């Protein structure tokens, strides 16, 4: 009933327009395109999750390799950890939270029901803040690297 009132047609008008306008080839092509779109969307979501996992892994490796939970080793050697690494721990925590949200949005859901857009919305403000700080520190880090080089 909703579709007929929405389209402005009564049931009989709608059914006759479908019978005269739709042919099996069109229906097949529409379904083929729909399935192609679903597959493409799923590929994008899968790539997003994979990339985010790799990013979290790389951030953890950086954090652990440079022993950033205890920066005194680097500081004793004259390295300003705050300038070089900025708020890397905040970036790592945000990336982990975002990855968790993505995985939760996908868990146990059909490909068509995986809604990841809300994950971006949930972390958008925090992303602006955390990455804003990280980017503001970038020029200072480059200047320090140029001095050391």
Within 13 A of 64's CA, how many CA atoms are on the CB side? Answer: 6
Residue 68 has which token pair?
């950033």
Which pLDDT does position 3 carry in this prediction?
Answer: 45
* Cα gap 89→96, rounded to integer Å: 11
- Per cent of the chain over pLDDT 90 is 70
Residue 35 has which token pair?
């399935």
Q: Taking the model in full, what pTM does it have?
A: 0.77
Q: What is the mean pLDDT of residues 47-63?
A: 98
- 48 class by beta-carbon count within 10 Å (0-12 exposed, 13-18 middle, 19+ buried): middle
The more confident residue out of 67 and 113 is 67
Which pLDDT does position 112 carry in this prediction?
Answer: 81
pLDDT at 19 > cutoff 60: no
What's the pLDDT band for 13 if we cut at 50, 70, 90? low
Map out the domains of the chain with their CATH numbers: 23-148 (1.20.900.10)
Which pLDDT does position 21 carry in this prediction?
Answer: 58
DSSP conformation class of 70: S
Q: Is-contact 133 90, C-beta < 8 A?
A: yes
């Amino acid at each position: 009933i909703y579709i007929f009132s929405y389209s402005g047609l009564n049931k009989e008008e709608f059914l006759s327009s479908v019978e005269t306008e739709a042919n099996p080839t069109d229906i097949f092509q529409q379904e083929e395109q729909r399935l192609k779109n679903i597959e493409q969307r799923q590929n994008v979501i899968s790539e997003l999750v994979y990339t985010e996992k790799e990013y979290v892994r790389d951030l953890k490796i950086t954090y652990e390799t440079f022993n950033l939970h205890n920066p005194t080793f680097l500081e004793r050697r004259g390295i300003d950890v705050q300038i070089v690494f900025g708020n890397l721990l905040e970036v790592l925590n945000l990336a982990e939270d975002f990855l968790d949200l993505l995985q939760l949005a996908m868990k146990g859901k059909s490909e068509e029901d995986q809604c990841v857009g809300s994950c971006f919305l949930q972390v958008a403000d925090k992303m602006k803040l955390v990455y804003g700080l990280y980017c503001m520190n970038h020029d200072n880090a480059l200047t320090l690297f140029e001095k050391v080089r």
